[in-house]
Amino acid sequence: MQTETIVYIIIAGVAALLLALFQYIYKSKIKSDLKYLLTVLRTISVFGILLLLINPKFESFTYFDEKPTLVVAVDNSESISYLKQDESASNVIKTLESQKELNERFNLQAYSFGKSVNELDSLNFDARQSNISQALKQFGEVYDNETAPIVLLTDGNQTYGSDYSYVAKGVKQSIYPIILGDSTVYSDLSLKQLNVNRYVFLKNKFPVEIITNYNGTESITTELKIWSGNSVVFRKTLQFDESKTSQIISTTLNATSVGVKTYRVDLVPLANEKNRVNNSKNFGVEIIDQKTNIAIVAERLHPDLGALKKAIESNEQRSVSILKPKEYESKINDFQLVVLYQPDNNFNSILKEIKDQNLNTFTISGTSTSWSLLNNSQAYYKQTITNQTEDFQPSLNRNYNTFIVDNLDFNSYPPLKSEFGALEFLEPSDIILYKSVNGINTDQPMLSTFEINNTKHALLNGEGIWRWRAQAYLDTESFIDFDNFIGKLVQYLSSNKKRKRINVDYKSFYNGNDDVIISAQYFNKNYEFDAEASLSIVIKNADDDSIREVPLLLNKGNYSVDLSGITAGNYTFTVKHNSEAVATSGSFQVLEYNVEQQFLNADIDKLKSLANNSEGEAYFSSESSNLIENLLADNRYVTIQKSTKNIVPLIDWKYLLGLIALSLFAEWFIRKYNGLI
């Protein structure tokens, strides 16, 4: 308590006493000893009221002991069981959880991880991928302000995510890897990586690049084969020795027919090779008849052009050309879709040609757009011309029903600059994005689509979309979400297919460890999205004729189902409404491949380096007792006594209010009883 407050309290006490003495001793006519009791009661009342006005604050301290946290994270992926380390991992967990001294010293927090991190409930070692970097990153964030060493039970073989040795540099905690795996080195041949385009074009040759590895000391000879069904379409003899441990093989294959084609790469194994699973790998390509050619027509250069080209060409089925208006006019029949970027008076002739030929368009306006030209060249929409610009942020219309829109976080995207004034559609349109200002939706369209005379059109009212692509990367460390959004818009605009009441989004084939997710949208008879529909998918395995039916669940504005983990093979499916005769069908293929079975040994060197760089230590699963001893002996992990300081103002002390009320009542009662009032 401050000295100034103490002085105020003393003054308040003296003032209260003097006031009581003045009233009941100096001025009072009471002759009995009752005046002394009334003096005390009045002093208490006045002093209490003055204390409330001063409102001094009192400090109190609460002391408690805080034990360090011991984070135990177990790799729950299939590679652990494949390396026959599942029992060892379970035994280590039981030892740590049952060790009495360790539990007295630490708060144990156990987790399991595969592609994602979960609290440790049970271990089944069935995760199809392992993401060690994501686990370390999450532990580093959750326990950033604590002392929390991390015990990591893993073989060190990561199949998904960033390099965990790099991510670990941002983790403040010491890491103690418990190595699950065999340290014995075996001779082994493996297919390290296979690079091939997902889409190829009919009657073209497509490249295949294969990276092969050899782990051993002897000179060996083997053969690489690429199979298409029962036929070998490529073969090459390879030689390895202690110094030549890797080779890159490049070849080209013919695309002879349309559809999904699967191939198998085989590396003839050694006679005594222990792991032969990593000697074979399947891959697939989708052969299409022609490429979608898209023209971006612009009079001036802008970063938006590059962002659009990158996003559209992220799908290998599409090719983008950036042209001046005069260049496009001479090649207008070479393209299936035209993107008109900020049309000005130089676009006059091509706008007339586009209208005459009933071509699909994607128009993007901005600060240099001639709205007088656009208003006069078409009768679909009109923009109020103010010659003033404004920055507008996007707001997603979750009821958009023309095609499936991913649930991107548009609210965090930078604003686009566009003409200030009302944009009015003169024909029916569907709004994908609204304009918003300071979080308030203006109900003005930013991105819309509409269909007229069997043609499809889109209008983006704003420039600066390159910032959206950059923001998507900042949010997710990938351009995929933004590129997929633009890709779906372009796919809709470049196709003349009629709208369906059920739209399904899926891939024609999935690699063995891909997430097999199928999304759908259902619309009522007025083509309004129905969020209360009951949809299900019937899946048939074409190889064994087995059938299963799974419900689709509403998730972020779409109906979806996760079929990850289904066996490799060819599948046909039908997405149907359970109470209406509305359905749509398709097919896909799952290629056989298990990335978790590609490893023969634990990555011991990398795990030891991880431990050293984080001031931890690596152990094998048989050395768990040494780990426990070292953790208990490490002075960095001691129980810390902490205190909590509480500052309580006197006005919150209810007993003082009660004392004031009691003294005032007692004074009044005594005076009343004795006829003094």
Query: Contact, 84 vs 125, CB < 8 A?
Result: no
pTM score above 0.85 = no
Residue 142 scores a pLDDT above 90: yes
Nearest to 659 by CA among 59, 57, 46, 54: 46
CATH of domain 188-288: 2.60.40.10
| Selected residue with higher pLDDT from 62 and 241 | 241
Residue 498 scores a pLDDT above 70: no
- Give me the pLDDT at residue 363, please: 95
Q: How far apart are CA 320 and CA 338, in angstroms?
A: 10
Please name every residue paired with 190 in a beta bridge, in sequence order, or none if there are none: 213
- Give me the pLDDT at residue 75, please: 93
For 157-176, write each residue's pLDDT tens digit: 888 888 898 999 999 999 99
Nearest to 107 by CA among 634, 644, 641, 639: 639
Residue 357 scores a pLDDT above 80: yes
Q: How far apart are CA 115 and CA 98, in angstroms?
A: 28
Residue 675 scores a pLDDT above 90: no
Domain ranges of the chain: 3-60+645-673, 68-183+601-638, 188-288, 292-493, 502-594
CA angle 206, 209, 210 (to 5 degrees): 140
Range of lowest pLDDT (14-23, 167-176, 209-218, 570-579): 14-23
Cβ neighbors of 658 (< 8 A, separation 6 or more) are none
Average pLDDT, the chain: 88
Q: Which CATH superfamily is domain 292-493 in?
A: Class I glutamine amidotransferase (GATase) domain (3.40.50.880)
Nearest to 59 by CA among 641, 650, 642: 650
Q: Where are the beta strands (DSSP E) in 95-182?
A: 107-113, 117-119, 150-154, 175-179
Q: Which CATH superfamily is domain 502-594 in?
A: Macroglobulin (MG2) domain (2.60.40.1930)
Residue 186 scores a pLDDT above 80: no
Fold of 68-183+601-638: Rossmann fold (3.40.50)
- Give me the pLDDT at residue 499, please: 65
* 68-183+601-638 shares its CATH topology with 292-493: yes
Confidence label for 201 from pLDDT (cuts 50, 70 and 90): confident
